[in-house]
Amino acid sequence: MRAAIEAARTGRGKVRVAVVTKTQPMRSHSVSAEGGTAAVLYPEEGDSFESHIWDTVKGSDFLADQDAVERYVSLAPLEIIQLEHWGMPWSRRKDGKIAQRYFGGQSYPRACYAEDRVGFYEMSTLYDTCLKYDEIVFYDEWYATKILKNNGRFAGVVAMNLKNGEPAVFSAKAGVLATGGAGRIYSFATFGHSSTPDGYAIAFRAGMPLKDMEFVQFHPTGLVPSGILITEASRGEGGILRNKNGERFMERYAPKAKDLAPRDIVSRAMVTEIREGRGLKTEDGEDYLLLDLTVLEPEIVKKRLTSIREICIRTANIDPLNEPIPVRPVAHYYMGGVDVNIDGATELPGLWAAGEVSCVSINGANRLGSNSTSECLVWGRITGELAARFAMTHQPVEPVKEDVELEERRIFDKLLGPAPRLNPYNVKREIQSIMERHFHVFREQESMEEGLRKLRNLRAEMELGVEDKSRYYNTNLMNVLEIECMIDVCEVIGAAAVHRRESRGAHARVDYPKRDDENWLNHILAYRVVGGIEFAYKQVVLTKYKPVERTY
């Protein structure tokens, strides 16, 4: 939506912007962002661009492109102010200025927030603003299945109207892919069920490389057993992680930053505590540790962690004012994505990508909390403007007819045709359990190879069919299309994880426990080729900072 607004502003009266989304826009995952949006607002009080840059680069375990990080940090404050002007109800300090709080790996309190419902308010603000532009038309509940090309240029997408099952071609001179993270490829995940890796898969199938897909972020505090996120802001406000002996164990793993070390480090510490027998178990045998908010002033929990308290009371029957919260690491974010340059441009002229589906990369091997929503805003603005300029200065291209026909046949003849051989929901559960088992916080060659083999076997026999043959709101058909995207993307994640023989950020290999800058200070690009996946490398852009040991 940020890209749509910028495209409309850039091409006022001269462009038409279609926002194609498989959900209603306010059902996008961004709405559930909780804790904050990072930006340097008050340099006079000690924070600085340099500090935000350094924190982000160090947090990324030196895999971030530093030119992109510099651009991000310098533009993020403008986005906070821009949202403010569009009506965003940021929480305030006593002096009336926008309030900020601490987040993991950030040296200053620089996460701007609105209670712990940041995403909801940001998305409401953006949606309202979109509605002011006649140039922007929403196509809610349209499911995009294919990127169209002609003569090496982007030509539009094929999408299906979920309301009546009608396929259609959105011809376009320029586009921005903003389909969000790979979401629910793990079973214990903070994402809504509609978050699936469609965008990654359709870009990959259209020949674009996926970059750094081995890096999956596990957030330390998923509520057990649902996996609902307990925001990092709860530790930013002073919450403490404890093991079954009541020990504040993070003091041993990160003596300085403690509970506010970056997510990769805290998640590894938690899994280690559990493996070494200092965790607890639910009646159903699920492992967990404790997040203690009883040490906070009750007013802080009530006012700044409103949703967290509500979620705990409603879904777990726990009031965090009186009792610790049961938590464990949960799949939460994908550092990798469609390879784009510093302008968000993909390899396909006319197509940009922004937000979680893209990899710029400011997050490298590990993203810092609160950097993602500001990344979405910054590159939403950049790509929206560039896409509009491109559209205004280029002739239209017609999508290739045969490509459209092939896609319609794939969906309507093949999938809706034969009787289902495998129950797609069982296949989905199988994919999720392979990812949980073989590509989690700690990784190891043999287990990953086994996981990859299982994924490939599953794909080889995957004759998914659709039981529901109707055209109206056929969510069964949409789910099957999503599951096909899941298996494609999981295979890339698995293959890339096997390929990278070092430990860096969120990719922690027990068989290669050290970071190896000599051989692996590179982005890994995965291309789809006949017969599988081919890898290539892209140099990491280092401007000021040489990699050093990463301690907190």
Ligand X SMILES: Cc1cc2nc3c(=O)[nH]c(=O)nc-3n(C[C@H](O)[C@H](O)[C@H](O)COP(=O)(O)OP(=O)(O)OC[C@H]3O[C@@H](n4cnc5c(N)ncnc54)[C@H](O)[C@@H]3O)c2cc1C
- Candidates 23-31, 166-174, 396-404, 427-435: pick the segment binding ligand X (CB under 6 A): 23-31
Write out the binding residues for ligand X, residues 439-498 only, by CB under 6 A. none
Distances 144 to 14, 22, 169, 339 between C-alpha atoms, Å: 25, 7, 9, 20
Rounded distance between C-alpha atoms, residue 285 and residue 125, angstroms:
42
Q: Which is nearer to ligand X, 194 or 243 (CB)?
A: 194
- Candidates 22-30, 50-58, 234-242, 339-347: pick the segment binding ligand X (CB under 6 A): 22-30
- Shortest distance, CB of residue 183 to ligand X, whole angstroms? 7
312 binds ligand X per the rule CB under 6 A: no
Rounded distance between C-alpha atoms, residue 63 and residue 323, angstroms:
39
Q: What are phi and psi of 20, to 5 degrees?
A: -100, 120
Query: Using an 8 Å Cβ cutoff, are 372 and 190 in contact?
Result: no
H or E stretch covering 289: strand 287-292
Q: Integer distance in angstroms from the first to the last C-alpha of the chain?
A: 36
Task: Please pick, from the candidates 11, 35, 222, 505, the single residue that binds ligand X as defined by CB under 6 A.
Answer: 35
110 binds ligand X per the rule CB under 6 A: no
- Shortest distance, CB of residue 509 to ligand X, whole angstroms? 25
Write out the binding residues for ligand X, residues 210-229 only, by CB under 6 A. 229
- Candidates 177-185, 290-298, 488-496, 518-526: pick the segment binding ligand X (CB under 6 A): 177-185
Nearest to 543 by CA among 92, 65, 41: 65
Which x/- pattern over 317-346 shows residues binding ligand X (rule: CB under 6 A)? ---------------xx-------------
100 binds ligand X per the rule CB under 6 A: no
Distances 383 to 42, 180, 340 between C-alpha atoms, Å: 27, 15, 11
33 binds ligand X per the rule CB under 6 A: yes
Task: Please pick, from the candidates 66, 363, 366, 373, the single residue that binds ligand X as defined by CB under 6 A.
Answer: 373
Q: Where are the alpha helices (DSSP H) in 294-423?
A: 298-304, 306-316, 371-393, 401-408
Which x/- pattern over 150-169 shows residues binding ligand X (rule: CB under 6 A)? --------------------
234 binds ligand X per the rule CB under 6 A: no
Question: Residue 486 is encoded by which pair of tokens?
Answer: 């899941």
Task: Please give the size of the binding site for ligand X, defined by CB under 6 A.
Answer: 38
Q: Which is nearer to ligand X, 34 or 484 (CB)?
A: 34
Categorise residue 313: left if φ over 0, alpha if ψ from -120 to 50, beta otherwise: alpha
Write out the binding residues for ligand X, residues 345-364 only, by CB under 6 A. 355-357
Question: Residue 94 is encoded by which pair of tokens?
Answer: 């006593």
Q: Which of 101, 110, 184, 219 is catalytic?
A: 219
The answer for residues whose C-beta is within 8 angstroms of residue 413's C-beta and 6 or more apart is none
99 binds ligand X per the rule CB under 6 A: no
Rounded distance between C-alpha atoms, residue 55 and residue 302, angstroms:
30
Rounded distance between C-alpha atoms, residue 381 and residue 3, angstroms:
5
Q: Which of 235, 328, 381, 500 is catalytic?
A: 235
Rounded distance between C-alpha atoms, residue 364 and residue 52, angstroms:
15
Question: DSSP assignment, residue 400?
Answer: P
Task: Please indicate whether residue 219 is annotated as part of the active site.
Answer: yes
- Helices 371-393 and 66-86, axial angle in degrees (round to 10): 90
Give the SS3 label for residue 417. Answer: coil
383 binds ligand X per the rule CB under 6 A: no
180 binds ligand X per the rule CB under 6 A: yes
- Candidates 33-41, 57-65, 67-75, 494-502: pick the segment binding ligand X (CB under 6 A): 33-41
Write out the binding residues for ligand X, residues 134-153 only, by CB under 6 A. 143-144
State the residues that interact with ligand X by CB under 6 A: 20-23, 25, 28-30, 32-37, 118-119, 143-144, 178-181, 190-191, 195, 198-199, 229, 332-333, 355-357, 370-373, 376
Known catalytic residues are 219, 235
